[in-house]
Amino acid sequence: MQVTLYSKPSCHLCSDLKVDLMILQAELGFALLERNIEEDAEDFARFRYLIPVLDIAGGELLYPPHTVDKVRRALEVAQKNANKF
């Protein structure tokens, strides 16, 4: 399962979420891709005021505020949905 974190440098919320994701990654096993919104004009226009945003394959976009429990539940639901097919 692919998880994309839309973030930017010097965003403390992004850094905090990334730490949580790394812990969850070891627990749940998913691929994590981090996208710096400052490197892509479309990403910047779309997420400029919303980061950090998580795009979990098989699930909907998750916007702040993020908690470990909320993210874990979203990941588990996405994994279950992916295993149905």
Kindly state the average pLDDT of the residues 1-5: 95
What distance in Å separates the CA atoms of residue 57 and residue 1, rounded to the nearest whole number? 6
Kindly list the structural domains of the chain, giving each domain's residue range(s) and its CATH number in brackets, ordered by start.
2-83 (3.40.30.10)
CA distances in angstroms from 76 to 28, 51, 56, listed in the order given? 8, 22, 10
pLDDT in tens, 19-74: 999 999 999 999 999 999 999 999 999 999 999 999 998 678 999 999 999 999 99
What was the pLDDT predicted at 82? 77
The confidence band for 81, taking pLDDT boundaries of 50, 70 and 90, is: confident
CA distances in angstroms from 36 to 8, 47, 52, 74, listed in the order given? 5, 10, 10, 22
What pTM was estimated for this model as a whole? 0.91
